[in-house]
Amino acid sequence: MTAAELLLFFCADGDARVRATALNCLCNWAQYEKHKHNGTTNKRKYEWISDHWQQVYTLACKLITEDNSKVRQVSLRAIYLLGLRFGQHETPADTINLSGGSIENASLDMRLSPKKLNPYRPKLPSLVDDAFSRVCDRLQDPSRYVRQTAAGLIGDLAKFVSEESLLLTLEKTVMSDRQVKRFDRLNGGGGVDKSSLWGPVVGGSSGRPMHRAHQHPQAAAQSAPISVDSISLLSTGALGALINGLEDEFHEVRCATLSTVTQIAAYNARFASLCQDILVDMLTDDIQSVRLRAVNALQTVGDQVPILNDQVAIVTSALAEDSVVIRQRIHALLSRCRLVSPPCLLSLLDGLLANLRLYPEDRNSVWSCAAAVGRRHPFFVEVCVTSLLRTHPWLSDQEPFREDPAYITVLLLVLNAHPHAPGMAAHFPRHLATSQAYLRELVPHLLPKETMRFSFVWKPSTDLCLPYKRQRLDRGLSDDVDDTTGSQLFRFLTSTVGLLRRLLADCVHTLHQRRELPTSPDKSAGEPMDTDEKPAVSASELKRRLARLGQASRQELRVCQNSLGAPWLGDLPSWLNCLVTAAQCLLAATLHQTTNPKLFITLLRQVKKLSLRAEHLYLGLTPQEVAAVRGLRSALSSPGMLDASTVSRVLTELLDVCLRTEDIESCVGRIQKPHAQLLHPPPTKSDVDSTGAGQTPAGPLPEIRFTAVLATAAVRVRAIVTGLSLQQARSRVRVLYRRPDTAGKAQRQCSWLPPASAWEVLDGPLMEPGGGELAHTTPHTKAPRLELQTTLELTASCWSDTATLEIGLGISVPTTEGNPDDDELAPAVISLLPPDVVAKVKLLPCDTSHRW
């Protein structure tokens, strides 16, 4: 007995597990590809499956009707693999009487007499059509796992079937088109009226009704008798298969079906147009993952099929939900879709403005969406320009509030449409020139490159620019930077870096001069007053220059961080601010190492903390930049004393590598840092002092009630992290918390590593694993969006009955970077949340008679 015969024998075993395993082995044989295997055994497997595929296919069609879900799942995979490999062959005749195939759904004559020569009987369908019908039929399987598997396999088979078969999967009136009417005269003589018995039936491969009026009336009488009760009413094949999957009660099946719909709609425009309404309805699903899949599918459909007015209203209504991921994906969808009329444009704009009023933090995403819509629909914007800008035919209106986010949204829509529809400039009011100059400073990356010229003004004045940039623009900063290198925001940052470089270089030069001066009076001199005053004057000069450096850093770099155009610069201003502050603390420490030892240690800790943040929290650093940042910590090799020459050398290297105005253009967008958003518990701004007490949040704190006797409490933690790969998040992200029983050690935080299974990729491609330190990761690849869902379990100690727990997120620093002899100078975890942001949970025991 050969191995193949043995497998076929075990496919009829009494144990369902044996049957599933045996058929799974045959599936592995069907996956064999001849050009990838040269072994003798593999060749025999290939030859055997090529000669006996009909037998295996028939066996799989029989096993797919068993009551064991595992056997049905393996049989479904076998039908799928054989349908792909031998798709152009005819369906075996032995499978005609088996439910679920395209033969059963195509013609009743085949079921009555499959082998009899009949000129009216159509040709046997191809194997891929039959496999497609049987896989679609499994979307009505009792097991949700089988339905989920079937929904995922339809997409590959759909590439080889006809368009009519694909459209059948979206048919909603399945049973009305295939209604079976019972025949009351079965016991009477004569033939069976097939038209009244079966009704109009649509073929699985051609999609056309099979007319049976021309059949000979004695055809049924000469065939084997068939009862109406033997006809399967539940076996519908491809008819309405995807509708059943989208309406399934389990969200896993709905998600798999949406992925298949997305795959098919990418290459079939007619299918995409028919499923658009269904996908829009899926935006109202109760599960967030289903809504995300629906948005992805609509993005694929929107590239081929325009969206209608009522569909725009449904899509924009989904912007009211509290999930920031859903809102951002819908913004991306609206940026890519095509509208059919100007009313659709107005409806879309109303939805964006409502989203802006409800969630002001979405303004950057809303503005990007409005700019993209204006570029894609310039002629619709031209039709609606008077209503959008609210201009009067002959009266001059007052300029709206220039910093209103809603007004900025409308301006971005109009100004991005102007290059493709220049005729709308005749309807522009006079104040639009000043608004354009303001937007050039605010969001230059969202405006067209060419500046719109107005005939009624000469040149926008610099008084129209942002207040904190007006003075620097008036001084003619374009002398240092060429006008073609970037926008005014980039020129402002470049000039700021040049200013900080000069101030820091002056501080280093002052430190070098102070090191050369004597530190004690000359005993042989008659009047030692001159030598005593010089070090004091040098120290005061260094303090004065450090104060100027700190003031410039706060007023210039932090303005770039907080401006509305900050996303265009990335996290470069934040990184530069971190470096300049660390250098300032290092220079200040040289002044206090003998006069104020306590302040000296505090400044060293700050330098250590800031240098670790600059190296490990920011992505995209070059090896030279990493070495320059590490040089700041190399100056702290002897914490009790700082060498002025070493400090000067380290800061000079920092100036030459990280603060070069010539390299700022290459750093823009390259240096990024991961961002975290804590969804549960909800974070609040709080000024936490040394005692651990902070201001009361605006809303009530979430409460967790538990039995005090158990002495444990479980806190659900949910967060979204962007900018890290899945491997980095699993190994480096920590949950920070401060236990209520550590009131005497309020500054000490505890960290906890969540399990690897708590992480899940929401959307977007994964980044290439860096394989090394976080600072060396290249951020050019689109960062994935990772979701953390876990539970933090605390064992009670000795705190009071009611307590408050503080929770945050952080990223760990490699232990090799820390000093094992001085843990205070080497923080183990860096917070990922913004400053002064912390989540609080109130723990309330149910039984207050016990201390927990």
pLDDT tens figures, 259-299: 999 999 888 888 888 888 889 989 888 888 899 999 988 98
Map residue 186 onto helix, strand or coil.
coil
Percent of the chain with pLDDT over 70: 66
Read off the tokens for 477: 């900063």
Q: How confident is the model at residue 252 (pLDDT cuts 50, 70, 90)?
A: very high
Confirm if 71 and 20 have CB atoms less than 8 A apart.
Answer: yes
Read off the tokens for 133: 């019908």
* pLDDT given at position 453: 60
* pLDDT given at position 464: 38
Buried/exposed code over 303-318 (b: 16+ C-beta within 10 A; e: otherwise) = ebbebbbebbebbbeb
Nearest one of 347, 314, 316, 350 to 331, comparing CA atoms: 316
The pLDDT tens digits for 517-573 are 444 444 433 344 344 444 444 677 888 888 888 887 777 776 666 554 556 677 788
Q: What is the mean pLDDT of residues 641-645?
A: 77
The pLDDT tens digits for 167-194 are 888 887 544 333 433 333 334 433 333 3
Cβ contacts of 753 within 8 Å, gap of 6 or more? 734, 735
Which single residue is written with the structure tokens 């409806």?
A: 347
Confirm if 508 and 584 have CB atoms less than 8 A apart.
Answer: no
Domain assignment present for 453: no
Which single residue is written with the structure tokens 């605390």?
A: 794
* pLDDT given at position 639: 54
Read off the tokens for 42: 């593999």
Domain assignment present for 416: yes
Same domain, 607 and 688: no
Domain assignment present for 18: yes
Confirm if 196 and 183 have CB atoms less than 8 A apart.
Answer: yes
* pLDDT given at position 368: 93
* pLDDT given at position 38: 58
Same domain, 370 and 400: yes
Map residue 751 onto helix, strand or coil.
strand
Of 1-5, 444-448, 656-660, 667-671, highest mean pLDDT: 444-448
Same domain, 773 and 630: no
Give yes or no for residue 463 having a pLDDT over 90. no
Calpha distance 281→275 (Å, rounded)? 10
* pLDDT given at position 7: 79
Return the higher-pLDDT residue of 819 and 608. 608
Same domain, 660 and 685: no
Which single residue is written with the structure tokens 């000669």?
A: 51
Give yes or no for residue 508 having a pLDDT over 50. yes
* pLDDT given at position 367: 94
Same domain, 489 and 580: yes
Domain assignment present for 476: no
Lowest-pLDDT choice from 72-76, 118-122, 737-741:
118-122
What are the backbone angles phi and psi of residue 750, rounded to the nearest 5°? -100, 145
Give yes or no for residue 350 having a pLDDT over 80. yes
Between CA 231 and CA 238, with CA 235 as vertex, the angle to 5 degrees is 135
Lowest-pLDDT choice from 163-172, 698-707, 801-810:
698-707
* pLDDT given at position 207: 37
Domain assignment present for 231: no
Q: How confident is the model at residue 796 (pLDDT cuts 50, 70, 90)?
A: low
Same domain, 700 and 625: no
Same domain, 107 and 85: yes
Q: What is the mean pLDDT of residues 774-792?
A: 62
125 in the Ramachandran plot: left (φ > 0), alpha (ψ -120 to 50) or beta?
beta
Calpha distance 50→345 (Å, rounded)? 57
* pLDDT given at position 209: 36
Calpha distance 848→852 (Å, rounded)? 9
Nearest one of 184, 180, 216, 207 to 195, comparing CA atoms: 180
The pLDDT tens digits for 808-851 are 888 888 754 444 444 444 457 888 887 777 788 877 766 544 44
Q: How confident is the model at residue 3 (pLDDT cuts 50, 70, 90)?
A: confident
Lowest-pLDDT choice from 391-405, 453-467, 508-522, 764-778:
764-778
Of 76-85, 373-382, 805-814, highest mean pLDDT: 373-382
Domain boundary (406, 423, 440) is at 423
Residue 602, domain extent: 483-519+532-667
Q: Which residues pair with 790 in a beta bridge?
A: 717
Return the higher-pLDDT residue of 174 and 142. 142
Same domain, 114 and 20: yes
Give yes or no for residue 390 having a pLDDT over 80. no
Same domain, 651 and 749: no
Same domain, 696 and 823: yes
* pLDDT given at position 370: 94
* pLDDT given at position 269: 86
Same domain, 685 and 773: yes
* pLDDT given at position 355: 93
Calpha distance 31→762 (Å, rounded)? 31
Domain boundary (100, 133, 155) is at 155
Domain boundary (667, 691, 710) is at 667
Which residue type sits at 688?
A: V
Map residue 703 onto helix, strand or coil.
strand
Domain assignment present for 468: no
The pLDDT tens digits for 87-128 are 777 777 666 555 555 544 443 334 433 444 444 445 677 888
Give yes or no for residue 351 having a pLDDT over 90. yes
In this structure, how many other beta carbons lie within 10 angstroms of the beta carbon of residue 788? 21
Q: How confident is the model at residue 589 (pLDDT cuts 50, 70, 90)?
A: confident
Calpha distance 124→96 (Å, rounded)? 10
* pLDDT given at position 98: 58
Domain assignment present for 828: yes
Same domain, 649 and 685: no
Return the higher-pLDDT residue of 329 and 800. 329
* pLDDT given at position 695: 40
Calpha distance 607→603 (Å, rounded)? 6
Count of domains forming the chain: 4
In this structure, how many other beta carbons lie within 10 angstroms of the beta carbon of residue 720? 17
Domain assignment present for 450: no
Give the relative orientation of helices 324-336 and 309-317 as an angle to the nearest 10 degrees.
Answer: 160
**Mean pLDDT for the chain overall:** 72
Which residue type sits at 653?
A: E
Return the higher-pLDDT residue of 852 and 395. 395
Percent of the chain with pLDDT over 90: 10
Q: How far is CA 500 from CA 108, 288, 483, 561, in A?
A: 85, 47, 21, 16
This prediction's pTM: 0.49
